[in-house]
Every structure is written in structure tokens, then in C-alpha cells.
Structure 1
Amino acid sequence: MTDAINEWITIDPEVRGGKPCIRGTRITVYDVLEYLAGGMSEQEILADFPSLASEHLRAVLMFAAQRERRLAVGTPHEIAA
């Protein structure tokens, strides 16, 4: 799981202000999550962004799940921050 995240998700202060992005693109994890939450299907996202593949979208979901898991086991003041 972490291998896919490390392979496809990067954080570079010079790209999109250091937000987590899909490697080789300026598409952020947040962008993809927002598209999915807005009702776009995987097929629609891939059609709109030909540089993306299914494994990129899975890496985005794994990254978000891992971050959520870290928040869930954090201390109350970390969760509120």
C-alpha cells in the first residue's frame, strides 16, 4: 500500500504550494477527491485527464485513507488542529 503512495504521490514545495500531487502532474490529491465527491466516475476523470491512470486514482484514495487513519489515532488536540 505505502509503495503505491510513494510511487505515485509526491510533495514538492515548488509544485502547487507543496500540496500532495500525482507524480509528474500538477493534479493534487484534493482535486481528485473533490472530483469523486462531486460525483465524477473514475472513467470520467480518466477521460478528462489522459495523463492519469487507474493506479493514480487508487494511490490518491490510499493516501487519503492513510492520512485519515493517522488523524483517527492522533491525540484530540492533533485532530482539532
Structure 2
Amino acid sequence: MLGFDRITFDPHVMGGRACIRGMRITVSLLVNLVANGMTSDEIIESYPYLEPEDIHQALHYVAWLAEETVHPLAPVHP
């Protein structure tokens, strides 16, 4: 999937949500930790089985998702 080799989806892990390398660590958890001010070093200290590239790729994946285009619908006239 577009070079996101660390982002996995498995219906048996976290209900199929985007996870890091099949672990029970979701992309949304990592993004929330960063959004709340944690550095990559602090995250890795709290989750020592993560690697810096895991965090980097999670952020790139979310940025890619945010690139979607919104097409407004034309108003329907009766």
C-alpha cells in the first residue's frame, strides 16, 4: 500500500484498525501521542518495541489520508 510497509490491517487485531507491524499499537494512538506533545524518544521509551520508523510512517500515513479530495454535491432542486 503506497510504501507503508509498517502499517498493517488485520480484522483479528484491534478490529482491523491501522496498526504498526501487526502489533496492538494503532496508528491513531501514535498520532495522538505526538499531537499531545510526546517526542519520538519519549514514545519509544514508553513503547520500547517500537522503532523510530514506525512513528515516522504512522505520521506519513495519516498525512496521506488527509490528502483526500472533497467534492461538494450540487444542490438538488425540486
In the aligned structure 2, how far is the partner of 1:76 from the partner of 1:10? Answer: 31
Aligned position for 2:76: none
Aligned position for 1:32: 30
In the aligned structure 1, how far is the partner of 2:53 from the partner of 2:72? Answer: 33
Match of 1:55 among 48, 53, 56: 53
Higher Cα Rg: structure 1 or 2? 2
Aligned position for 1:10: 8
Deviations 1:9-43 (A, max 9, x none): 00111110111000131100000011011111110
Aligned position for 2:19: 21
Q: TM-score, normalised by structure 1?
A: 0.81
Structure with greater helix percent: 1
Deviations 1:53-77 (A, max 9, x none): 111011101110110002xx13246
In the aligned structure 1, how far is the partner of 2:71 from the partner of 2:19? Answer: 27
Unaligned runs of 5+ in 1: none
Unaligned runs of 5+ in 2: 74-78
> SS in structure 2 opposite 1:39?
coil
Q: TM-score, normalised by structure 2?
A: 0.84
Q: CA RMSD in A?
A: 1.3
